[in-house]
Amino acid sequence: MKERVAWFGDEENLIAIVSDPPAPPAPVTGVLILNAGVLHRVGPHRLHVNLARALAGLGHRVARMDLSGIGDSRALPGRMTFRESSVADIRSALDSLAAEGDSSGFILFGICSGADNALAAAETDPRVRGVVVVDPPAYATRRSQMRQSLGRGGRIGAWLRLPLRFGRSAMRRIAKTLRAPSSAQAHSGGREVPPIDQYRRQLNALVDRGVRILAIYSGVLGARFNHEDQLFETFPELRGRVESAFFPHANHTFTELSAQAELQALVVRWCRSWT
């Protein structure tokens, strides 16, 4: 495996580190690893570096890029939103990688906002054949709220307080509904989450097109994701069409080396069929 610096974009303002496999088959599925939030291309705790090298060992050409204004990629003046700019940057990277002539399509990998950008780019670019998204948008359900409440209620006193807790929760939801218009987007930790119907349409459109999706969730999302089957509680029509994994003991950036190793092993297994 060899690594090299690559520049993308009309003004070569985008930078990436490309991990070339030792003996790539032809054609090979390329992998593009996106920024996790504002972290540069190394990824949280060097996760992107380790993952890129492992996937290159499978025969994939892997690029871990910096979007405009992040890491070593220069920001260009313009009026695009962050999402529009991110999708444009991703497509520029795919153009450059595809020009090397040995790609049969691409897999996108992203954590948090990187997951959102991966899904948005997959919607617009038919060359994207698969996405691996870590902590993508997630939504609380009645079951997940019950699981969270019961998980905190190991003592008798907590059980006795359940009716009061549910009553307060209901009042907060009512007040929130009265304060905000029904079309307002939900927010989670400062990250804008699309309305659930919009996200449903996005996922269904991708799988209808034949895009493979691996959705991975950490254990810090609370009621928004606290059970391995929750994705299909929310979107039952996706059962059997989208693959999902839950790491209940991992944090959002997979800080612990053991959690990173489990995540990497899962992604490598999932990608092995693409070589």
Element (DSSP H or E) covering residue 187: strand 186-188
- Tokens 């699309």 found at: 194
Q: Which helix (H) or strand (E) holds 60?
A: none
Per the CB < 8 A criterion, the answer to whether 13 and 76 are in contact is yes
Secondary structure of residue 42 in the 3-state scheme: coil
**Using CA atoms, how far apart are residues 29 and 115, in angstroms rounded to an integer?**
19
- We find that the CATH architecture of domain 2-135+252-272 is 3-Layer(aba) Sandwich (3.40)
The Cα–Cα gap between 275 and 262 comes to 21
Alpha helices per DSSP H over the chain? 47-58, 82-98, 113-124, 142-151, 156-160, 162-179, 196-208, 230-234, 257-272
* Distance from the Cα of residue 274 to its chain's centroid: 19
Maximum alpha-carbon separation in the chain: 65
Structure tokens at 21: 């496999």
Local confidence pLDDT in tens for the 275 residues of the chain? 799 999 998 889 999 999 999 886 677 889 999 999 999 999 999 999 999 999 999 989 999 999 999 999 999 888 788 899 999 999 999 999 998 876 789 999 999 999 999 999 999 999 999 999 999 999 999 999 999 988 764 444 444 555 555 556 555 654 444 343 333 333 344 578 899 999 999 999 999 999 999 999 999 999 999 999 999 999 999 999 999 999 999 999 999 999 999 999 999 999 988 65
Kindly report the length of the chain.
275
Instruction: For residue 115, give both structure tokens.
Output: 């997951």
Taking CA atoms, 77 is separated from 7, 11, 13, 87, 155, in Å, by 18, 12, 12, 16, 57
d(CA 44, CA 30): 22
CA Rg value for the chain: 20
